[in-house]
Amino acid sequence: MDAANDPVAALLEEARLRKTMPSPAERQRLREAAGLTRSQVATACQVGRQTIANWEEGKTTPQPPGATAYARLLDGLKELHPTPTETRPHPAAVDESTPQPEPVTTPAPPHAAAPSPTPTPNPTRPQRRARSSAQAQDASTGLIAAAVHEELEKAGGDVDAAQAALSKRAIDDVMTLWRDLRTTGRYEYTAYPALPDIFKKPSTKEPDQIWEARPGYRHPGYSLRAHGDILVTALDANAAYLSAMKCWLPIGKLEHSTGADGVDPKRSGVHLITPTPWNHPHLPNPLGDRDTEGPLWVTDATLRLLLRLSGPKYGLTERPTVHESWTSHATENFLDALRKALTAARATAIAADDTLTTEYVKAMYSKFISTMGESIHNREIKRPDWMHIIHSQAYANLWGKAYKAHQAGLEIVLMAGTDELHVTGDWRQVFTEGRGVTEMKIKYSDSKASGEYVVGKVTR
C-alpha cells in the first residue's frame, strides 16, 4: 500500500520530510537556485509571502498546514540543486629522491583545562513575545489561506460563490483562530459573568442603555447647496473595528461602585456620567450624535476620551461628573494576538492584490465583534460589554483623527460612523495615503458627498 492510501505511511513520510528540513539559509539558497520567488513558493504552500520570508530568515519555524508542502518542495529542490561541495587544492607532488627536511618536533604544552563553554543567553521577555507573535501570525495566515483555497476549489474557481461561502463560515473560523491563539490564555472567556440590567434590551427591537457615542457630525458652516469652490475630500479610515480591538476590556465580573471610585486606569466597564456642554466651533462632540441632555451610561473608551480632553494637554471641555460605575480589572491586550494575526493576514492579502482573502478577513473581524454581544450566530461568547467598548473605541479613534486634522489647519466638514471623515485642505500632509490599518484612503460612494467634491459657506 502506497503513502497515498496508507495513513501511517503518510505520517511517516511527513515526519521524514520535517526531520530533513534544511537550515534557513539553505532554504533561501534552494529557492534562489531554482529561480523561484517567495510569492510563488507561498502560493504553492498556501501560506503568505511574509511567512516564507520568516522561514528563510529563521524568524519562525515552519508550521502546519503549509510546512509539509514546503518540506516536500525543498526535498525536490535538493535533488535538482545539491549543496556545492567545497573544493580542496591537491597537495603538490613530492620527489621521493630528494632528501626531505626532518620534521620539527614541538614539545607539547603543559596540560591546561578546557575552557568552559559560553552559555547561550536566554531570550528576553520581549524577544519571546515577538517570536511567539510571529509564529502565531504565520499559523493564522496559513489557516486563512487554506480556507480560501478550499472554498475556491469547492466553487470550481467561482470567486463570488467562494466569497459567499467564506462569509458564512467567518464566525466559526475566527472563533477557531481565537481559541488557537489563546492556548496559553489565563482568562476563560466562555465563563459569562452576570451583567447588570443596563445591558438588557427591553425588546428585540430596542437597544440597551449603553450609549456608544456614535458620531453623526456635519459642520453647520458648509453645504453642498451653498455656492462656493471649497474642495472637500471624503476619507475612509481603514479597518476601523480591527484597530479598535486594541482597547481596555474588563476580564471579570463587573462590580458596582458609586461616585468616581470605579474610574481607574486598570479597570474597565461602563459609567453613568453627566457630561458638560460641548461648545467647540470646529470639532465634533466626542459624545457623538446626541440630541438630549442629562445623565447617560457610556463605555470606558468614551470616558477615557472625555477625561483626556478635559485634562491640561487638551483643555477642550470640563471633566464629566461620574455618578456610578460597573467595572472590573481590565487588560488592553486581551484581543491583541487575534488583532495582530488578522492585521498581518489582511496586509498580506492586500499586497498580493487578493480581494477574496481581504474580504474574508474583514468578515472575520467584523462578525467577531458584532456577534460577541448576544447573537444566535455565535453561542460561544456573550459579552455585550466588550462589544459596546470596542464600538466606542472605534468612534474615539476616529475623533482622534479629526482632532489631528484640525490641529494641522484642516476643517472638519463631516464625521460619521466608524470610518468616515470629510476634510478641507491638503489631507496628505496629515495622513499617509494607503490601505494599511494606520492609513487613510479616499472614500467613494453613490452619495454626492463622495470622493472629492465642492461645498460653499453658509451665510447667516
- CA-closest candidate to residue 42, choices 348, 347, 360: 348
Supply the pLDDT for residue 443.
Answer: 96
DSSP track, 145-201: HHHHHHHHHHTTT-HHHHHHHHHHHHHHHHHHHHHHHTTT--S-TTSPPP--GGGS-
- CA-closest candidate to residue 434, choices 350, 358, 339: 350
Supply the pLDDT for residue 97.
Answer: 47
Supply the pLDDT for residue 351.
Answer: 94
Supply the pLDDT for residue 48.
Answer: 76
Contacts of residue 33, Cβ cutoff 8 Å, sequence gap at least 6? 77, 80, 81
Question: How is residue 346 annotated by DSSP?
Answer: H
Cell of 269: 466597564
Say if residue 42 is exposed, middle or buried (CB neighbours under 10 Å; 0-12, 13-18, 19+).
Answer: buried
Supply the pLDDT for residue 107.
Answer: 56
- CA-closest candidate to residue 310, choices 299, 300, 321: 321
3-state secondary structure of 51: helix
Cell of 446: 453613490
Low-confidence ranges of the chain (pLDDT < 50): 86-98
User: Distances from the Cα of 393 to the Cαs of 177, 292, 298, 325, 401, in angstroms?
Assistant: 23, 22, 11, 18, 13
User: Distances from the Cα of 441 to the Cαs of 160, 379, 420, 431, in angstroms?
Assistant: 25, 36, 10, 9
What tens digit of pLDDT does each residue of 95-112 get?
Answer: 444 455 555 555 555 555
User: Which helix (H) or strand (E) is 272 found in, with range?
Assistant: strand 267-274
Supply the pLDDT for residue 117.
Answer: 64
Rounded Cα gap, residues 300 and 388, in angstroms? 9
How long a stretch of residues is the chain?
A: 460
User: Which helix (H) or strand (E) is 429 found in, with range?
Assistant: none
Rounded Cα gap, residues 210 and 145, in angstroms? 38
Q: pTM score, two decimals?
A: 0.72
Query: What residues form DSSP beta bridges with 255?
Result: 327
Beta strands at 216-218 and 440-442: parallel, antiparallel or unpaired: unpaired
Supply the pLDDT for residue 292.
Answer: 84
Amino acid at 408: A
Supply the pLDDT for residue 113.
Answer: 57
